[in-house]
């Protein structure tokens, strides 16, 4: 797949995530936050693929991205948040319990309850938007 296609897909998922996050502010429904997590993670995955294709890297793993590609383009906080949103998405999909209370989502992960605030999800979204903005221009 061409890096341009992956970048377009990432921007599409980011726009969906942004609309859902803005919608959460009006309607405060757990489904909006779960949607923001999923769409932001899809955007992060597509963005990482775009970077791999742009750099023409053969071996593709998150470790290769974080160690070799991301430092060329992204600051440490953005790198960390890209990794975290992928981690949160995976945890959210495998969590047997998912409960919303106020602006928090409570997940049961490996026997421990984890709390994720809407504000933190917004941080993840902004970091992925920032990473998309740092993608090299042609």
Backbone angles phi and psi of 2, in degrees to 5: -75, 145
Q: And the tokens for 78?
A: 């953005």
Q: And the tokens for 19?
A: 């609309």
Whole-number Å distance between alpha carbons of 132 and 6: 11
Cα 102–Cα 33–Cα 122 angle in degrees, nearest 5: 95
Q: Is the pLDDT of residue 40 over 90?
A: yes
Whole-number Å distance between alpha carbons of 108 and 96: 6
76-87 pLDDT, tens per residue? 999 999 999 998
Per DSSP, the three-state class of 109 is strand
79-132 pLDDT, tens per residue? 999 999 998 888 888 877 777 777 788 888 878 888 888 899 999 999 999 999
In CATH, the number for domain 3-133 is 1.20.120
What are the distances in angstroms from CA 120 to CA 4, 115, 128? Answer: 29, 10, 13
């Amino acid at each position: 797949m061409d890096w341009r296609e992956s970048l377009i897909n990432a921007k599409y998922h980011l726009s969906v995530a942004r609309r859902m996050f803005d919608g959460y502010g009006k309607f405060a429904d757990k489904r909006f936050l779960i949607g923001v997590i999923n769409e932001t993670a899809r955007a992060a995955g597509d963005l990482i693929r775009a970077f791999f294709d742009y750099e023409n890297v053969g071996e593709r793993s998150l470790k290769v991205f974080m160690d070799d590609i991301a430092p060329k383009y992204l600051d440490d906080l953005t790198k960390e948040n890209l990794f975290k949103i992928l981690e949160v998405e995976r945890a959210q999909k495998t969590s047997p319990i998912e409960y919303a209370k106020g602006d928090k989502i409570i997940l049961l992960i490996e026997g421990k309850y984890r709390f994720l605030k809407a504000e933190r999800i917004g941080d993840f979204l902004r970091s992925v938007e920032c990473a998309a903005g740092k993608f090299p221009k042609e």
